[in-house]
Amino acid sequence: MRQTAAVTDLLSSPVPATGAAGEHRPDWSWLPPGQEPTEQSLQAARDRLDTVLADHGVTYGGADRRWRLDPAPVIVHAAEWATLDAGLVQRAELLDALLHDLYGPRRLLTDALLPPTVVLSHPGFERAVDGLALPGGRDLVLTATDVVRDGAGDWCVIADRTQAPSGAGYAMEDRRVVAQVLAGVYRQASIARLGPFFHALRLALQEAAPPGAAEPRAVLLTAGPASETAFDQAYLASMLGLPLVEGDDLLVREGRVWMRGLEGLEPVDVVLRRVDAGWCDPLELYSGSRLGTPGLVRAVRAGTVTVVNPLGSSVLESPAVLAHLPRLARAVLGADLTLDSAPTWWCGDELNLRHVLAHLDRLALLPTAAGPDSTTVLGWTLTAAGRAELAARIEARPWAWVGQEPVGRTGPDEPATGPQAAVLRTFAVAHDASYTVMAGGLARVSDQQIVSSALGAQARDVWVLASSSQPAGEPTGWDDEALAAEPGGGRGPATGISPRTAENLYWMGRYAERAENQARVLRAVIDRWDDYHGRGGSAGGRALDVLLHALVLRDDDEPPPPRLPTLRDLVLDRETPRSVARSVLRLNAAAQAARDQLSTDTFGPIA
C-alpha cells in the first residue's frame, strides 16, 4: 500500500534560537531565574528518554525502528498560538467548503476559480463517491497542517494533510514521555493540554454517524502492523476506545457495514480510516487491494455508514490546490487567508510554467500527486544537465508539477552546514459548528533539507504556554496523563474485539508461555553442561541429551537439523527455530498486532 507522504521540505525552525551547529535551543525565559535546564540535564533526559521509548515500544516504519524524540520541547507563547489557531480554523473551514463543492455542485470549476485539470486529473479525486456528503454539516472532519516560520519569523503553511492525517498519537506519546523525563520543568509550566482535542475528536465521530444511530459505534480502520505508522494508529484507537480493525475484520451485508465480533456480527456506524481511500474497497476503487472491505463504497452511498475522512478527500492535499488557496479564500470566505502558504506556482498555467522553468535553480519542484515514482526535487542541487532533464519532464506533463519557493533560511543560498530545518504539524477536528485545534502538535527537526520521519527526522513535543486567563487544565476529564497511559483514556478498552485481535492475544499468551518454558529448559541445560557434557552413559548425561532433544526437535520422529544450534543460538538467535529469541520476536509481533488492547507498559518486558 502507498502510504500518504509525510514529507515536508525546505523549512526553517519554529524556534528562532539555534546553537553553533544549528541545534535548536528552547526559550526558557518564562522559567524563574536559575531554573532553566542545563545541557547536562538535557543530555541525561535524552539518555533516559531512549530507554523509555524502547520500554513503551514506540516505533515508526517497522517494529525494530525506534521513534526518535528529543526531550527539548518547542515553546510557543499563548498570544502567538492564538493567532496561529485562528489561521488554522479559517484554513480548515476553507478546505471543508472546497471538499463539499468538489463532490457537489463544482461551482469553483464552472466559475473558473479552480482549473478543472487540478481536480479531475488528480488520482485522489474519487468519482465513485461523487455527490455524497457527510452528516453533521462538515465533510472534512479531521485535518493536519504543516507549518514553519518564514524568513520574517511568521508562520507559513507548506502542506495540508486531508487524506488520513497521521501523528496525533505520536504527539500524545511525546507529551507523556517528555513530561516524564523533564518532570521538574513540566510541573513548573502552565502548558495547554492535548486532551480536549481528543475529546472533540471522539464527539466528532459520534456527530458524523448516520441519522438514526442511537448509540453510534465507530472503529479505526488500519492497514495492519506492517504500516509505517502502526504505533500511531493503535495508540489513537486505544485513547479513543475504538476497536482497531483491518479490512477483513469488516464485511458489508444487507447494505451496511458489520464488524466480525467474538459473539457474532456487530454493526458499525463510523469508520475512522487510516488506509488511503483508493485501497478501501476493491470492488469500486483499486481492485488489487487486500486492505479494504468489499462493498464499503456501496454502504457509504446507501447512507448506512460514514467514513472519516471521506473517501476522495486527498485531492485537497495537492500542492496545486495549495497554489490557488489565496484566490479561493477570497471567493469562498470573502476574506484573505490569515495564515499564508509558501509561494507556489502550478505549472499547468502557462505564465507559471515559464516562471518555474526560468527559476529551476532556486525552486523546489513537487509532483501534484504522491506516488512511488514522484518525489520532491530540489532544483539548486541539480547540475545543468539535470535541470535540463527536469525541465523536459515538466514540459511533457506541466499539470503534474508545481514549483515552490524554499521557505525561511534553507535553500540555494544556504551553506550545507546551515541550521536544522523543522516542521510543526498541527491538527484540527470539526466540532461545535467550527474546528477545534490541538493546543500543540508534532514538531520534527532534521539537518536535511527535506524533513521526514521516514528520512530520520527527530520529533519534539510542542508546549503552548497558557496565559494567566487561560487555565491549562480542561473540565472534560480528559487528563493528558490518564489519556495516554490507559486504553480509552481511563474509560476502558474498546467495547468490541475482532476474532483477529482475539487470536493475536491468544498467540501472545502462547509465545510468552513458550519463551518461558524454553528459558527454563535452557537454564537446566546450562546448569548441567559442565558436569555432564560428554558423559553420555551417565544418568546426568542422558538427562542432558533429553533436554537438548526437547529444545531442538518437536518429536522423536523428526530428523535432526543439518547443523545443531549452539546454546548461544538457542538463547539469542532470532533465526534459530525454537530459540528463546525467536519466541520473544513472535510474542512481540502478536502484541503489536493487538496493541490497541494493551497499555504501553506491556512492551517494556518484551522489548
**pLDDT of residue 212 exceeding 80:** yes
SS3 265: strand
From residue 250, give the alpha-carbon distance in Å to each of 139, 211, 220, 233, 600: 23, 21, 11, 17, 26
Burial grade of 35 (CB within 10 A; 0-12, 13-18, 19 or more): exposed
Q: Do residues 444 and 564 both lie within one domain?
A: no
**pLDDT of residue 13 exceeding 60:** no
Q: Do residues 171 and 311 both lie within one domain?
A: yes
Q: Do residues 438 and 480 both lie within one domain?
A: yes
Q: What distance in Å separates the CA atoms of residue 162 and residue 179, rounded to the nearest whole number?
A: 30
* List of residues 6+ apart from 488 with CB closer than 8 A: 238, 239, 240, 241, 494
Q: What percent of the chain has pLDDT over 70?
A: 82
Q: What distance in Å separates the CA atoms of residue 55 and residue 233, rounded to the nearest whole number?
A: 18
Q: How many residues does the chain have?
A: 607
Residue range 568-587: mean pLDDT, rounded: 86
What cell was used for 471? Answer: 487555565
Residue range 283-303: mean pLDDT, rounded: 96
Q: Please write the tens of the pLDDT for every residue from 341-369.
A: 999 999 999 999 999 999 999 999 999 99
**pLDDT of residue 420 exceeding 60:** no
Mean pLDDT, the chain, whole residue set: 85
Q: Do residues 289 and 352 both lie within one domain?
A: no
Q: Range of 367's domain? A: 344-404
CA 417 to chain centre: 29
Which of these three, 441, 471, 490, is where a domain ends? 490
> What is the per-residue pLDDT for 606?
66
User: Would 246 be classed as within a structural domain?
Assistant: yes
Q: Do residues 166 and 225 both lie within one domain?
A: yes
DSSP string, 134-150: -TTS-S--EEEEEEEE-
> What is the per-residue pLDDT for 539?
79
**pLDDT of residue 476 exceeding 50:** no
> What is the per-residue pLDDT for 489?
45
Q: Do residues 433 and 388 both lie within one domain?
A: no
- Tell me the pairing of strands 401-404 and 364-367: antiparallel
> What is the per-residue pLDDT for 602?
75
* List of residues 6+ apart from 402 with CB closer than 8 A: 319, 320, 322, 323, 344, 345, 346, 347, 356, 365, 366, 368
User: Would 310 be classed as within a structural domain?
Assistant: yes
Hey, which bits of 187-255 come out as E strands?
218-221, 244-245, 250-253
Phi, psi of 292, rounded to the nearest 5 degrees: -100, -170
Dihedral sign computed on CA atoms, order 529, 535, 536, 542 = negative
Radius of gyration of the chain measured on its C-alpha atoms: 27
Which CATH number fits the domain that encloses residue 387?
3.30.1490.270
User: Would 289 be classed as within a structural domain?
Assistant: yes
From residue 305, give the alpha-carbon distance in Å to each of 56, 248, 255, 291, 386: 34, 17, 9, 18, 49
**pLDDT of residue 456 exceeding 70:** no
Q: Do residues 430 and 555 both lie within one domain?
A: no
Q: Is the pTM of this model over 0.75?
A: yes
User: Would 374 be classed as within a structural domain?
Assistant: yes
Domain count, the chain: 3
User: Would 265 be classed as within a structural domain?
Assistant: yes
Q: What distance in Å separates the CA atoms of residue 127 and residue 118, rounded to the nearest whole number?
A: 15
The region of weakest confidence among 86-95, 262-271, 339-348, 566-575 is 566-575
Highest average pLDDT, of 148-162, 264-278, 436-450, 519-533, comes from 264-278
Q: Do residues 179 and 214 both lie within one domain?
A: yes
Q: Do residues 516 and 459 both lie within one domain?
A: no
User: Would 411 be classed as within a structural domain?
Assistant: no
> What is the per-residue pLDDT for 151?
82
> What is the per-residue pLDDT for 474?
46
Q: Do residues 510 and 571 both lie within one domain?
A: yes
Q: Do residues 260 and 357 both lie within one domain?
A: no
Q: What distance in Å separates the CA atoms of residue 240 and residue 364, rounded to the nearest whole number?
A: 38
Q: Do residues 504 and 480 both lie within one domain?
A: no
Q: What distance in Å separates the CA atoms of residue 112 and residue 605, rounded to the nearest whole number?
A: 60
Which of these three, 490, 512, 542, is where a domain ends? 490
Helix axes 230-240, 168-181, angle to 10 degrees: 80
**pLDDT of residue 482 exceeding 60:** no
Beta bridge partners of 221: 245, 273
> What is the per-residue pLDDT for 523?
86
DSSP letter, residue 124: T
What cell was used for 147? Answer: 507549518
User: Would 410 be classed as within a structural domain?
Assistant: no
User: Would 382 be classed as within a structural domain?
Assistant: yes
* List of residues 6+ apart from 516 with CB closer than 8 A: none
